[in-house]
Structure 1
Amino acid sequence: MDMGGLFFCFDVVECGGECGREEKIFLSWGIIRLFATDKIDYVVRDSPPVFSDSMSLIRLSSIFLTLCLFFGLPSAAQAAFLMCNETDYVIEAAFGHRDEGTWISEGWWQIQPGQCSRVVSKPLTQRFYFYYARALSSRSKNGKEPMVWAGKYAFCTDNKAFKVEGDGNCEPHHYQTNGFQEVDVGVRQKDYTLTFRDQNGF
Structure 2
Amino acid sequence: MRNAILRTLAAGALWAAMAGGAQAGLDVCNDTDVVQTVAIGFKGERDWTSEGWWNIDPGDCARVLGGDLTQRYYYYYAESVNENFQGQDYFFCASNEVFSIVGDTSCEQRGYETLSMREIDTGETAREFTLTLVDDGGKPTGGDKIAPKLEDGDNPDNTPGETITSTDTDTSGPGGPGSGEEVNEVVQDTTVVPPEDVPMSVSMEDLKTEIPQGNHGKPFETVALFQGCELEGGREFCSFHAGDWKMRVFYRGPTPERLMYALEELAINMPVLLKGDMVETKGNIAAIVVRGVEPRPGEDEESLLRAYIQGDWIDQGDGRWEMTVLGSEVYYRQDGDFSTHRFLRLAKECDGSNGQGPVLVQINADNNRRTCYRIDRAEGGVLELTDVRRGRSTTYRRIQ
Using the size of structure 1 for normalisation, the TM-score is 0.56
Query: 3-state SS of the aligned residue for 1:114?
Result: coil
Q: Report how far residue 150 of structure 1 moved.
A: 2.4
Check the 8 A contact 2:40/2:76 in 1, yes or no.
yes
Choose which of 110, 114, 119 in structure 2 pairs with 1:182.
Answer: 119
Matched to 1:100, the amino acid is: E
| More helix as a share of residues | 1
| Separation of aligned partners in 1, 2:45 and 2:102 | 11
Choose which of 43, 46, 49 in structure 2 pairs with 1:98.
Answer: 43
Choose which of 141, 148, 152 in structure 1 pairs with 2:89.
Answer: 152
Matched to 1:94, the amino acid is: A
| Separation of aligned partners in 2, 1:114 and 1:169 | 36
Deviations 1:40-87 (A, max 9, x none): xxxxxxxxxxxxxxxxxxxxxxxxxxxxxxxxxxx9x81010000000
Are residues 1:111 and 2:48 paired? Answer: no
Equivalent residue for 2:282?
A: none
Q: Report how far residue 99 of structure 1 moved.
A: 1.9
Check the 8 A contact 1:134/1:149 in 2, yes or no.
no
Query: 3-state SS of the aligned residue for 1:89?
Result: coil
Query: 3-state SS of the aligned residue for 2:114?
Result: strand
Identical-pair percentage: 42
Matched to 1:174, the amino acid is: G
Q: Report how far residue 120 of structure 1 moved.
A: 0.8
Are residues 1:192 and 2:129 paired? Answer: yes
RMSD value, Cα: 1.8
Are residues 1:85 and 2:22 paired? Answer: no
Pick closer, same or farther for the CA change 1:200–1:192 going to 2, 3 Å.
farther
5+ unaligned residues in a row in structure 1: which ranges? 1-74, 141-145
Equivalent residue for 2:79?
A: 134
Matched to 1:183, the amino acid is: I
Matched to 2:95, the amino acid is: D
* Displaced runs of 4 or more, over 3 A: none
Q: How do 1:9-158 and structure 2 match up within 5 A?
A: 78-135=23-80, 137=81, 140=82, 146-158=83-95
Check the 8 A contact 1:85/1:116 in 2, yes or no.
yes
Matched to 1:108, the amino acid is: W
| Separation of aligned partners in 1, 2:78 and 2:88 | 10
5+ unaligned residues in a row in structure 2: which ranges? 1-19, 140-400
Check the 8 A contact 1:133/1:150 in 2, yes or no.
no
Q: Report how far residue 125 of structure 1 moved.
A: 1.5
| Separation of aligned partners in 2, 1:118 and 1:159 | 20
Choose which of 90, 102, 106 in structure 2 pairs with 1:169.
Answer: 106
Query: 3-state SS of the aligned residue for 2:136?
Result: helix
Using the size of structure 2 for normalisation, the TM-score is 0.29
Deviations 1:139-182 (A, max 9, x none): x3xxxxx3425221000011111110011110111000010111
Query: 3-state SS of the aligned residue for 1:151?
Result: coil
| Separation of aligned partners in 2, 1:87 and 1:102 | 33
| Separation of aligned partners in 1, 2:74 and 2:127 | 13
Greater Rg by CA: 1
Q: Report how far residue 200 of structure 1 moved.
A: 4.1
Pick closer, same or farther for the CA change 1:94–1:149 going to 2, 3 Å.
farther
Check the 8 A contact 1:133/1:149 in 2, yes or no.
no
Q: Report how far residue 201 of structure 1 moved.
A: 1.7
Pick closer, same or farther for the CA change 1:149–1:83 going to 2, 3 Å.
farther
| Separation of aligned partners in 2, 1:195 and 1:149 | 16
